[in-house]
């Protein structure tokens, strides 16, 4: 899967060659040519190929929007699997960080990695309808740990 680029690197009032675009996004120039085949528009069909900065920015903004995955309140996004997942066996730990917010910690059912999600304490009741949540006590000092 291709790494999503930061669209703000492209200046909208500037034109880029394939080589300049590759340098700008730290990719190989053949990667930029694949972007052109994928739908990145060029200014004209002449050589050298020129890409408008505004087109480059909108291309990557559209790519980012199309790749976003919205999580349900009871789902946590797994970075390794790259999809929202319910924690394994519908079990998660809630670790309070402040009086209002905390972190849900669970295991991904597919890859077994630890998955985290920051949640508001008020939304915990809504999540408890779908998950078995265990509340842990936050440690104030490192000396409290074993």
pLDDT at 98: 87
pLDDT at 118: 92
Sequence-separated (6 or more) residues with CB below 8 Å from residue 12? 52, 53, 54, 57
DSSP 6: -
What pLDDT, in 10s, does the model give residues 66-100? Answer: 777 788 888 999 989 888 999 999 999 999 988 88
Q: Are 47 and 78 in contact (CB under 8 A)?
A: no
Is 30 within a domain?
yes
- Per the document, the length of the chain is 146
**H-only helix segments in 1-146:** 18-25, 29-38, 53-67, 124-128
Is 144 within a domain?
no
Give the number of other CB atoms < 10 A from CB of residue 5. Answer: 18
pLDDT at 140: 63
Domain interval for residue 110:
76-137
Is 105 within a domain?
yes
Domain end position, chosen among 37, 67, 97 = 67
Number of domains in the chain: 2
Q: Which of 123, 121, 117 is nearest to 77 (CA)?
A: 117
pLDDT, averaged per 10 consecutive residues of the chain (146 residues), comes to 75 94 94 94 92 93 81 89 90 90 92 92 88 75 63
Is 118 within a domain?
yes
* CA 144 to the chain's CA centroid: 34
């Amino acid at each position: 899967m291709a790494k999503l680029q930061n669209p703000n690197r492209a200046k909208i009032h500037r034109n880029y060659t394939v080589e300049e675009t590759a340098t700008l996004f730290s990719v190989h120039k053949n990667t930029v040519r694949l972007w052109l085949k994928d739908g990145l528009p060029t200014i004209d069909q002449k050589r050298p190929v020129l890409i408008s900065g505004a087109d480059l920015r909108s291309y990557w903004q559209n790519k980012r929007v199309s790749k976003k995955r919205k999580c349900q309140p009871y789902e946590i996004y797994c970075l390794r699997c790259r999809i929202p997942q319910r924690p394994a066996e519908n079990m998660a730990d809630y670790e309070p960080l402040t009086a209002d917010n905390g972190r849900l910690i669970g295991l991904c059912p597919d890859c077994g990695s630890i998955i985290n999600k920051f949640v508001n304490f008020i939304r915990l009741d809504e999540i408890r309808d779908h998950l078995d949540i265990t509340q842990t006590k936050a440690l104030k000092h490192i000396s409290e740990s074993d």
